[in-house]
Amino acid sequence: MSTEKRIETIEHDGLVFDVLDEGPIGGEPVVLLHGWPERATVWRHVAPILNAAGYRTYTPDRRGFAPGARPKRRRDYTLPKLAGDIAALIDQVGGSAHVVGHDWGAATAWAVAGFHPEKVRTLTAVSVGHPASFMKAMVKSDQLRRSWYVVSFQLPFVPELIAKYGGAGFDRQLIKSGMTKDDVARVRAEIIDDGAFHTSLGCYRAVPLTDPRSVRFRITAPTTMVWSAGEVPLSRYGAERSADWCDGPFEFVALERGSHWLPTEAPDVLADIILERIQG
């Protein structure tokens, strides 16, 4: 079931989220979730491919990014809160949907599938594995070293000042991870210049508030985990061992080429993987 009217915004938890609603009105719903430091536009090359295949895509600006959804408290960015926003969107578009997420969008997608399993038809996670697997990777792999920036983001005001006034260094870190200069300019326009940088860090700053036991949820939806050999911030261990938390069909796809930024770097490849999962 799909709504016959286009959705431009949804309201949840006193916040307003902008949504890009594209594709055939009667198409099966696919929810696309962006990561950090990006917004819904990260899916601009993937969504048209899914639309051409007959699917209707809903691409929200998530909590901390949407102009009407930027609470300031750390506790407003815990995984249950992030998942609740997307569950509210899925309720509005028919009650269940295929869910796809990249980076923090993937972490959110895992949480939606774990906390609200009845709402997720299939799950495609890109780069970031199941939260419990990610935590285990901290002690079983080099993930702790890769996650140095998460610790730095806990410092109040310092990351904001570096991004705004020491921009060249911030930009270099994104380029080092594989992002193109054009996409760095998009991040600067959509996140920093638009005033979303401080609140976009809420998901990172809420990590210390997370009880590890709360993310030990099982996944019943058919799931595909996509990881690239060019990943800088995420280890293969956390992605591949996500299978340990999946009770339904699970496929691990390791791409030999590509960086962390797959939605913009390899949209055709990623769209094919998504379609294989949701059509399977």
DSSP one-letter string for 44-75: TTTHHHHHHTT-EEEEE--TTTSTT-----GG
CB 178 within 8 A of CB 260: yes
pLDDT at 255 over 70: yes
3 state DSSP class of 10:
strand
**Whether residue 3 has pLDDT greater than 90:** no
Number of neighbouring beta carbons within 10 Å of residue 166: 10
Q: Is the pLDDT of residue 1 over 60?
A: no
- SS3 assignment, position 13: coil
pLDDT digits (tens, 9 = 90+) for 165-183: 766 888 998 999 999 999 9
Q: Strands, DSSP E only, in the chain? A: 9-12, 15-22, 29-33, 56-60, 97-102, 120-126, 223-228, 250-255
> Residue 208, SS3?
helix
> Would you call 122 helix, strand, or coil by DSSP?
strand
* 141-162 confidence digits (pLDDT tens): 999 899 988 889 999 989 999 8
Please tell me the pTM assigned to this model: 0.96
pLDDT digits (tens, 9 = 90+) for 193-249: 999 999 999 999 999 998 989 999 999 999 999 999 999 899 999 999 999 999 999
The highest-level CATH class for domain 9-279 is: alpha beta
What is the distance between the alpha carbons of residues 59 and 45, in angstroms, rounded to a whole number?
A: 12
Report the distance separating Cα 18 and Cα 15, nearest Å.
10
Q: In what order do the strands lie in the sheet with 29-33?
A: 9-12, 15-22, 56-60, 29-33, 97-102, 120-126, 223-228, 250-255
CA distance 127 to 253: 10
pLDDT number for residue 149: 87
CA distance 232 to 238: 13
Q: Which residues is 41 bridged to in the sheet?
A: none
Q: How high is the pLDDT of residue 129?
A: 97
Per domain, the residue ranges of the chain are 9-279
Q: 55 falls in which pLDDT band (50, 70, 90)?
A: very high
Q: From CA 170, how far away is CA 189, in angstroms rounded?
A: 14
Sequence-ordered list of residues with C-beta below 8 angstroms from that of 237, at least 6 positions apart, any chain: 133, 136, 137, 140, 141, 143
HSE on the CB side for 126, CA within 13 Å?
32
Distance CA 221, CA 260 (A): 24
3-state helix, strand, coil in the chain (%, to 5): 50, 20, 35
Partner residues linked to 33 by β-bridges: 101
Residue 116: per-residue pLDDT: 98
Average pLDDT of the chain to the nearest whole number = 95
